[in-house]
């Protein structure tokens, strides 16, 4: 029996037919046609190697990233990607080059079919909480001295 291929959402929030692809993936109002076009099976390229140049096993993962366009427009993009099996979930951030008008600010991968929904928000909440804790510790230290 052949294993089931990973399926991921393939969409961009700035596309006219992909408004559902925002910060949180909202698929409840999709038509069957939109669902078939946007929920895709990840396929390997013809010359696919199971191992990268470092000898690490490479697998399909779902990816979501957030870009800022023209310094104000948030765009969320989801799709399939190939990545080392044990790579950190934010490894993909190093794969994107910024330009003068597009900046990639967050990126996460996952191996579940929920489209990596909530992954960016959870990560950013953790960063915000960490910053609040650090600032609180600094203020406490200053007050005690």
CB atoms within 10 A of CB 5: 13
Q: What is the pLDDT of residue 124?
A: 43
| 55-84 confidence digits (pLDDT tens) | 888 888 999 989 999 988 999 999 998 888
| Tokens found for residue 104 | 């990639």
Q: What is the pLDDT of residue 75?
A: 92
- Spatial distance between the Cα atoms of 76 and 104, rounded to a whole number of angstroms: 10
Block means of pLDDT (10 residues each) for the chain, 145 residues, are 74 85 84 89 77 83 90 90 87 77 88 68 42 42 53
Q: What is the pLDDT of residue 68?
A: 92
CB atoms within 10 A of CB 68: 16
Full-model pTM:
0.71
* Boundaries of every domain in the chain: 7-117
Spell 14-31 as b/e; 16+ CB within 10 A means b.
Answer: beeebebbeeebebeebe
């Amino acid at each position: 029996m052949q294993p089931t291929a990973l399926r991921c959402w393939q969409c961009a929030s700035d596309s006219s037919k992909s408004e559902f692809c925002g910060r949180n993936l909202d698929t409840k109002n999709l038509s069957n046609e939109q669902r078939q076009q946007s929920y895709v099976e990840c396929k390997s390229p013809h010359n696919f190697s199971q191992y990268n140049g470092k000898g690490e096993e490479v697998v399909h993962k779902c990816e979501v990233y957030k870009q800022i366009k023209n310094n104000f427009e948030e765009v969320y993009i989801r799709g399939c990607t190939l990545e080392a099996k044990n790579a950190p979930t934010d490894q993909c951030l190093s794969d994107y080059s910024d330009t003068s008008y597009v900046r990639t600010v967050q990126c996460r991968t996952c191996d579940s079919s929920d489209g990596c929904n909530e992954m960016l928000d959870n990560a950013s909440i953790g960063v915000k909480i960490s910053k609040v804790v650090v600032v609180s510790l600094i203020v406490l230290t200053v007050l005690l001295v």
